[in-house]
Amino acid sequence: MGRLTTPRSSRTRKAEHEWPAVVYLWMFALGILGYLVVGELVLMTRPHPLHWAAGIAGAALGGPVGWIWYRWRGDV
């Protein structure tokens, strides 16, 4: 009797998951707001690298906010 085997491609295929669009939108929006509002208005007299740090911090905050939004409301 022959052995019943599964095709090789189905055994080695890994689950491919991409992030939802809403996560990217929140990261972009909060990154821009962090740069413009915090970086340009609040830290106007500070060195310029702090402006970029405010934008990066806003984008980093946008990731978890986007995932919470995705779990609560779904994708856009």
Domain layout of the chain by residue ranges: 19-73
HEC string for the chain? CCCCCCCHHHHHCCCCCCCCHHHHHHHHHHHHHHHHHHHHHHCCCCCHHHHHHHHHHHHHHHHHHHHHHHHHHCCC
For the chain, how many residues are written? 76
Tens of pLDDT, residue by residue over 54-66, are 999 999 999 999 9
pLDDT under 50 in the chain at which residues? none
Whether the predicted model's global pTM rises above the 0.75 cut: no
